[in-house]
């Protein structure tokens, strides 16, 4: 049984994946997600960790019906680009919603879900997905 | 039991997945007599989505409890999850939950197992840790994605959901406190699951009287004797809810009228969430209780044991209710699924992969 997941990568990315930890440039104020070590706007290395709100709107999305091995249970997988309140764009799957109910501009919030499992014996990966806010909060 | 310093509840939160399967669909699938599940007073049950498990359910419930407690996650000094459906046999669930909530690394924590009662033990342990001054806040989670063999009567009730409580010293941000507790535990073979077995077995002749009723009645009577209280002193009674019938029956044996039980009886609409069962019922009661009211809470876990608590509601509870989604919100936000989709979500379909 060989593991397909990189265990160090799963560990290293846990904070961005679990609680939307990003970096904020202390020089120019730009927020980066996923976190960076050098600011891609001004080149500064003076960055601090910050947590994003997890609330935003769908900017674009795509529905994946043909999935990789091991992802059939999750199909169809809807991937969305979500613009958070902070102005940062995040690419993540949607959950608890059907393709026909997704539209651009839909208000969503981040939740923690299972995103993949390394077979029956390997690690389970958890990460942020987005789900629609309840109907009454869409205004 | 009564600690030297009173301990109470600073915040509570629940999470119930949105998917429901009607019990009539399970009846039809397996050829049960129509109306069988109605005799259990259960109509539908909550089903975890394909990407949900005890960790994600426990996390959502805990997030809501922290919102109501209005504390910073880093102030939590212990995290416990009571569950019998750990995603990993070895690797704690609470480390993922604690990391995702921003509680780690300076904290105690463990996953506890005692069938449906492990979260009850976590409350007792937390009361001790807080009363002694070792920690300020404890986060107690009861969450499960309960397993049932397809076609077993357990399938009508075994469901998914969870509840979480932030506990603190009375007066330190609390909105209710534990007046006292009483635990009662024996070795009883009513329900078990061996290490490699995907589904539990139940010792049919032990399920009712020798297990559920004997342990809850003993714990509740012990509690009332130690505090000098009678059933008429309580405004609400919340019992573990393996189905919709047992809590009403145990209440009547203990002298509690039905109207004190119904506000916390949630199983008829979501099934038995195991470690979440009584604690979701308590949350529903806290969401309507008034200061100075007294609540009886009695857990039950097979194997078997029960913890009975007397809880007094304090000032300020009403302003916490709307800080997070309520039990009522989760009951209303639902989507019915078919048996095949339920079977996929619960991992009942075996795929043979290379
Ligand atoms: Zn910069």
| CATH classification of the domain holding A69 | 2.40.50
Determine how many CB atoms are found less than 10 A away from the CB of residue A50.
Answer: 16
Identify the sign of the CA torsion B121, B126, B132, B134.
Answer: positive
Helical spans, DSSP H, in A13-125? 14-19
pLDDT in tens, B7-50: 999 999 999 999 999 999 999 999 999 999 999 999 999 999 99
**Is residue A35 assigned to a domain?**
no
Q: Is 3.40.47.10 the CATH number for B7-175+318-345?
A: yes
Measure the CA–CA gap between A109 and A65, rounded to whole angstroms.
Answer: 23
B60 interaction partners in chain A (CB closer than 8 Å):
111-112
Checking if the pLDDT of B204 tops 80, the result is no
Question: pLDDT above 90 covers what percent of chain B?
Answer: 94
What DSSP letter does each residue of B203-225 carry, written as one string? -GGGIIIIIIIHHHHHHHHHHHH
Conformational region of residue A25, where left means phi above 0, alpha means psi within -120 to 50, and beta covers everything else: beta
CA distances (Å), origin B240, targets B124, B203, B207: 16, 19, 13
Checking if the pLDDT of B351 tops 80, the result is yes
pLDDT, position B205: 78
Q: What are the domain boundaries of chain B?
A: 7-175+318-345, 181-314
Total number of domains in chain A: 1
Instruction: Give me the CATH topology for the region B181-314.
Output: Peroxisomal Thiolase; Chain A, domain 1 (3.40.47)
**Is residue A36 assigned to a domain?**
no
**CB–CB contact A126 B18 (8 Å):** no
Distance of CA A61 to the CA centre of its chain: 13
Give the predicted TM-score (pTM) of the model. Answer: 0.97
Measure the CA–CA gap between B352 and B350, rounded to whole angstroms.
Answer: 7
Identify the sign of the CA torsion B69, A19, B54, B130.
Answer: negative
Q: Name the residue range of residue A57's domain.
A: 7-14+53-137
**Is residue A77 assigned to a domain?**
yes
Which residue ranges in chain A fall short of pLDDT 70? 1-3, 135-136, 139
B105 CA to centre of ligand 1 in angstroms: 30
Of the listed B84, B121, B155, B287, which one is catalytic?
A: B84
Element (DSSP H or E) covering residue B295 = strand B294-298
Cα B121-B45-B59 angle, rounded to 5 deg: 50
**B150 lies within 8 A of chain A by CB:** no
Checking if the pLDDT of B354 tops 60, the result is no
**CB–CB contact A96 B102 (8 Å):** no
Helices B54-69, B93-101: inter-axial angle, 10-degree rounding: 40
Determine how many CB atoms are found less than 10 A away from the CB of residue B238.
Answer: 31
Cβ atoms of residues A87 and A31 within 8 Å: yes
**Is residue A24 assigned to a domain?**
no
When CB atoms are compared, the residue of B51, B102, B344 closest to A114 is: B51
Task: Give how far B56 is from chain A: nearest CA, Å.
Answer: 6
B353 interaction partners in chain A (CB closer than 8 Å):
69-70
Q: Among this protein's residues, is B240 annotated catalytic? A: yes
Checking if the pLDDT of B181 tops 90, the result is yes
Parallel, antiparallel or unpaired: strands B76-82 and B137-145: parallel
């Amino acid at each position: 049984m060989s593991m397909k997941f990189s265990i160090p990568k799963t560990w290293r990315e846990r904070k961005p994946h679990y609680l939307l930890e990003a970096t904020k440039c202390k020089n120019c104020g730009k927020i980066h997600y996923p976190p960076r070590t050098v600011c891609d706007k001004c080149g500064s290395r003076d960055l601090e960790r910050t947590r994003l709100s997890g609330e935003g709107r769908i900017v674009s999305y795509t529905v994946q019906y043909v999935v990789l091995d091991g992802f059939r249970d999750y199909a169809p997988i809807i991937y969305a680009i979500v613009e958070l309140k902070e102005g940062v764009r995040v690419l993540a799957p949607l959950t608890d919603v059907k393709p026909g109910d997704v539209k651009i501009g839909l208000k969503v919030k981040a939740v923690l879900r299972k995103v993949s499992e390394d077979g029956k014996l390997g690690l389970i990966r958890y990460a942020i997905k987005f789900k629609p806010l309840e109907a009454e909060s869409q205004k | 039991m009564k600690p030297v310093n009173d301990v109470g509840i600073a915040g509570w939160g629940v999470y119930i997945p949105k998917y429901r399967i009607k019990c009539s669909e399970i009846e039809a699938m397996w050829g049960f007599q129509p109306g069988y599940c109605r005799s259990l007073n259960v109509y539908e049950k909550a089903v975890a989505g394909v990407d949900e498990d005890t960790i994600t359910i426990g996390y959502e419930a805990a997030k809501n409890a922290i919102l109501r407690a209005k504390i910073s996650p880093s102030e939590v000094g212990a995290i416990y999850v009571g569950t019998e459906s750990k995603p990993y046999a070895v690797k704690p669930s609470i480390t993922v939950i604690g990391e995702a909530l921003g509680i780690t690394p300076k904290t105690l924590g463990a996953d506890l197992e005692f069938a449906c009662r492990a979260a009850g033990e976590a409350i007792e342990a937390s009361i001790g840790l807080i009363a002694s001054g070792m920690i300020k806040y404890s986060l107690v989670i009861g969450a499960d994605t309960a397993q049932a063999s397809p076609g077993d009567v357990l399938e009508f009730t075994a469901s998914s959901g969870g509840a979480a409580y932030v506990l603190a010293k009375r007066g330190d941000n609390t909105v209710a406190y534990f007046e006292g507790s009483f635990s009662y535990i024996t070795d009883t073979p009513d329900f078990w699951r061996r290490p490699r077995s995907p589904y539990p077995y139940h010792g049919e002749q032990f399920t009712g009287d020798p297990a559920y009723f004997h342990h809850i009645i003993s714990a509740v009577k012990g509690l009332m004797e130690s505090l000098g209280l009678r059933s008429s002193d309580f405004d609400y009674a919340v019992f573990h809810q393996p189905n919709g019938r047992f809590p009403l029956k145990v209440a009547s044996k203990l002298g509690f009228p039905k109207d004190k039980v119904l506000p916390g009886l949630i199983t008829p609409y979501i099934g038995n969430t195991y470690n979440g069962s009584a604690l979701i019922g308590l949350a529903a009661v806290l969401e309507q209780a008034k200061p100075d009211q007294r609540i009886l809470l009695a857990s039950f876990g097979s194997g078997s044991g029960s913890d009975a608590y007397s809880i007094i509601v304090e000032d300020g509870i009403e302003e916490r209710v709307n800080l997070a989604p309520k039990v009522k919100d989760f009951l209303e936000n639902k989507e019915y699924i078919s048996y095949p989709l339920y079977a996929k979500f619960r991992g009942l379909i075996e795929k043979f992969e290379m």
